[in-house]
Amino acid sequence: MNLLDEIFARKREEVRAEEAARPLAELKAELRDAPPPRDFAGALTRSPHRCALIAEIKRGSPTSGVLKEGLDPASLAALYESAGASCLSVLTDGPGFGGSAADLQAAREDCSLPVLRKDFTTSAYHLYQARAMGADAVLLIVHSLSPSELSEYQSLAKELGLAALFEVHSEPEVEVALSLQAELIGVNNRDLTTFELSLELGERLLPLVAPHAFAVGESAMHSRADVARMEAAGARAVLIGTALSRAEDPARQIAEMMGR
């Protein structure tokens, strides 16, 4: 198995244990106390900037290890908001990325931005879980989910008030996302089967997405020139994580990369 397959296999094992510990009925009951969802898609489309920013809170990754020691999700979320981000993305996977539900909750409480739960969705339970922890959007990775699963989770997300960001890595995956009339489609410049990075992937796939859905460029951007390449290819928003997590001055990094 490649790394992505390994991660999804682990997530499927984890979710069975999580549901045994906290049954779905109990989780659904908790939704009554969840904060009202914020409009993730609306925040992107209403951005005053030519290209909106989804700023990511990311402690680490399987390939890079720890990105920043002592990362404080709450203060970073407030900083991202003041620097002009339209939305947040928060990694909640623990074993691979060092994240947690607590990171998302802390980030959301300290700002007014909508928040994407960045994780590996494998079941309907994950969507209820995301809503209960306060997420406003979820990630659906087309490579690892069947069309029927994608359709089911897309419908459930809408029912729960969550936006669904479809993530694609190839032409056939773009076709699947478009066939399901996905409103938000992100092209990840990181091949999640090998974790290799290539902006050429975004330049190839974003033009296929942009005429039909809100296109998001994801990963591998470290400079203004990188972001400009995604904009030129059709991205109306970019998701940036590693470059911001490693930056000594994230606000300055945002200003430089986004040309603001």
Closest CA to 135 of 177, 87, 70, 97: 87
- Distance from C-alpha of 192 to C-alpha of 144, rounded to nearest angstrom: 10
Residue identified by tokens 């990075």 is 197
The sign one gets for the Cα dihedral 131, 125, 8, 66 is: positive
| Predicted pLDDT at 189 | 94
| Predicted pLDDT at 201 | 96
| Predicted pLDDT at 198 | 92
Helices 3-21 & 124-133 angle (0-180, nearest 10):
70
Tens digit of each residue's pLDDT (9 = 90 or more) over 159-196: 999 999 999 999 999 999 999 999 999 999 987 777 78
Question: Which segments of the chain have a pLDDT < 50?
Answer: none
What ranges make up the beta strands (E) of the chain? 52-57, 60-61, 65-66, 87-91, 115-118, 137-141, 163-168, 184-188, 190-191, 196-197, 214-218, 237-240
Tens digit of each residue's pLDDT (9 = 90 or more) over 187-208: 999 877 777 889 999 999 999 9
178 with 213: CB under 8 angstroms? yes
For domain 3-258, the CATH class is: alpha beta
Residue 40 has phi, psi (to 5 degrees) of -65, -55
| Predicted pLDDT at 26 | 95
| Predicted pLDDT at 253 | 97
